[in-house]
Amino acid sequence: MKNIKNKFISSLLVLFILVICFLSALKFLSMQKKEAVFPSEDLTSKKMLSAYLQSLKNTWGDTEIYIYEGQEKGGNLLITGGAHPNEPAGFITSVLLVENIQVTKGKIIIVPRANNSGFTHSDPQEGNPQRFSFETSTGRRQFRYGSRLTNPVHQWPDPTLYINPAGQKLSGTESRNLNRCYPGRKNGRLTEKVAYGIMELIKKEKIDLAIDLHESAPEYPVINAIVFHENSEELAALALMDLQLEGFEFSLEFSPKNLRGLSHREWGDHAHIMPILLESANASHGRLKGKTSPALIVEGKDKNYAKAAKLGRLFVPYGEEGVPLKLRVARHLAAVKSILSSLEELHPEKRIEIKNMPSSSKVRNTGIGPFLNPPN
């Protein structure tokens, strides 16, 4: 009798855990659902990265590429966001551009989710929220807050020591960091293939200038920065002056020649283009932060960072009012605009003309929501 009771309890427990597993699985799998992006009417074409590297087709590395081509020939610009999906300003800036711009001269290619796999999971033990959102005229639009690295379910196992395609020795987990895997490997790991696909895109689309949008923790020294390759030295310096006139403080950081595998180094060395990487201050992926919440991601307010700033431990000003996402996106937009006007000044034949680009001052004042297209 006792044995039957025992088996009955065990069966109930198994049933209970199956229900828990089912509910957990639904929650986890919802992270794989992509948020809709509503491109502006002037989108010329939309491709997938697998158009440049066939082996990415039907993998989690394949990602959308939005192409805007003007009537007149000019320069070709690539903008990548979401190389690190826990750095939302880069991703959101790309989405804002996709949903607003009209290109009249030259060509702009935008990749909002460069590391698509990184958007499908969250960093373990960080307690990060799955999503953050903005209010638009017809409702809220949600966006994923992902991980810096490719999902280990899509690329596993990590090596103990990772030697990236450029020959740099790194810790094993960095094999899943897209911005350490350039110039990529055609038949390598998933992240290396994504990097290789982006290199192929740069070469086949004859890109002249590429901007990689990132964020860094406020305690990290390379912050609010324009990181440049020697090919884009003049461009970066000119853009910096323009940004300072507009009231944005940026620092210029040279891409170290011995730090390999990063976009700002390998894009210039292997594709001979002008690469630039932009950084803004994101408290939500810093080590000093308190509780991570959608509010921290969007508002950027954190008591710990405000205190750390008072103690002189940060590399950026960080007050009680925080560094909101709208300001970080505004900084990226202002930098993109300044880089394009500098390009026109230095290389008039590569001029790129954009209409309807969200104004950095308006984004700063009104927020991001008004610039997002309402859900259809």
Binding site for another protein (CB under 8 A): 2, 6-7, 9-10, 13-14, 16-18, 20-21, 24-25, 28-29, 121, 151-153, 156-157
> Hey, is 37 helix, strand or coil?
coil
102 beta partners: 355
Of the candidates 300, 26, 307, 76, the one whose C-alpha atom is nearest the C-alpha of residue 203 is: 76
List for the chain the helix, strand, coil content (%; round to 5).
Answer: 40, 20, 40
In the bound state with another protein, the residue whose beta carbon lies nearer, of 122 and 255, is 122
Shortest spacing between CB 37 and another protein, in angstroms: 25
* Min dist. Cβ of residue 223 to another protein (A): 30
**Distance between CA atoms of residues 294 and 86, nearest Å:** 12
Q: Which is nearer to another protein, 155 or 373 (CB)?
A: 155
Phi, psi of 85 (to 5 degrees): -70, 0
Could you tell me the smallest distance in angstroms from the CB atom of residue 360 to another protein?
37
Reading the block at residue 66, the tokens are: 């939005």
Q: Is the dihedral of CA 232, 343, 106, 40 positive or negative?
A: positive
CB closer to another protein, 25 vs 36: 25
Distance of closest approach, residue 168 Cβ to another protein, in angstroms:
24
Which H/E stretch holds residue 48?
strand 45-48
Neighbouring C-beta atoms of residue 18, cutoff 10 Å: 10
Q: Which residue has the tokens 């970080």?
A: 328
Q: Which is nearer to another protein, 158 or 353 (CB)?
A: 158
Residues 6+ apart with CB under 8 A from 195: 165, 178, 181, 182, 183, 184, 185
For another protein, the closer of residues 120 and 360 by Cβ is 120
φ/ψ (deg, to 5) at 68: -120, 120
Question: What is the smallest separation between the CB atom of 78 and another protein, expressed in angstroms?
Answer: 31
- Which is nearer to another protein, 94 or 155 (by Cβ)? 155
Of 121 and 193, the one with the shorter C-beta distance to another protein is 121
Q: Kindly state the smallest distance separating residue 17's Cβ from another protein, in Å.
A: 5
Residue with structure tokens 């937009």?
333
First to last CA, the chain: 61
Strand 102-111 vs strand 64-69: parallel, antiparallel, or unpaired? antiparallel
CA separation for the pair 68, 215 (Å, rounded): 25
Instruction: Give me the phi and psi of 326, to 5 degrees please.
Output: -65, -35
The torsion region of residue 106 among left (phi > 0), alpha (psi -120 to 50) and beta comes to left
Dihedral Cα 336, 341, 347, 350, nearest 10 deg = 60
For another protein, the closer CB: 21 or 252: 21
| Residue 20 CB, nearest approach to another protein (Å) | 5
CB of 86 to another protein, least distance (A): 16
User: Considering beta carbons, is residue 21 or 259 the nearer one to another protein?
Assistant: 21
In the bound complex, what is the minimum distance in angstroms from residue 105's beta carbon to another protein? Answer: 45
State which residue, 2 or 287, has the beta carbon closest to another protein.
Answer: 2
Give min distance, CB of 248 to another protein, in A: 39
